[in-house]
Amino acid sequence: MSSKSSDVYDYYYENYLLLYNLYGKGRPRVSREEFQKLDEELMLIVVRSEGSEVDKAEITRVKDIEYLLMDDVAEALLDRPATTRQARNPA
């Protein structure tokens, strides 16, 4: 693994830890190494599925990995409108 790849995973793992500490109650916490392995597995499934059907087992695995990596929480937060901030600082 290159240093650059390690730095990227360190950044994403730090973000994962922030989300986990805020919203991860009841979820298992993964180590830095587990985080990278799960993310790499997720990317392999995504790449493999491009242009082809994804079977039920792969869909289930993707959902499991996204749950462990807090991706569902991160996506929900990104989709949330910033109404409070906009109300204080109207454009």
Let me know if 78 is exposed, middle or buried by CB neighbors in 10 A (0-12, 13-18, 19+): exposed
Q: Report yes or no on 60 lying in a domain.
A: yes
Q: Report yes or no on 87 lying in a domain.
A: no
Q: How many domains does the chain have?
A: 1
DSSP 1: -
Q: How far is CA 6 from CA 39, 40, 41, 62, 89, in A?
A: 13, 12, 16, 23, 38
* Between residues 12 and 80, the one the model is more confident about: 12
Q: For the segment 75-85, what is each residue's pLDDT rounded down to a tens digit?
A: 888 887 765 54
Q: Report yes or no on 86 lying in a domain.
A: no
Question: Average model confidence (pLDDT) for the chain?
Answer: 85
Q: Report yes or no on 35 lying in a domain.
A: yes
Q: Report yes or no on 11 lying in a domain.
A: yes
Q: Report yes or no on 68 lying in a domain.
A: yes
Measure the CA–CA gap between 20 and 46, rounded to whole angstroms: 24
Residue 57 tokens read as 């087992």
Q: For the segment 48-91, what is each residue's pLDDT rounded down to a tens digit?
A: 888 888 899 999 999 999 999 999 898 888 887 765 545 545 54
Domain around 24: 3-80
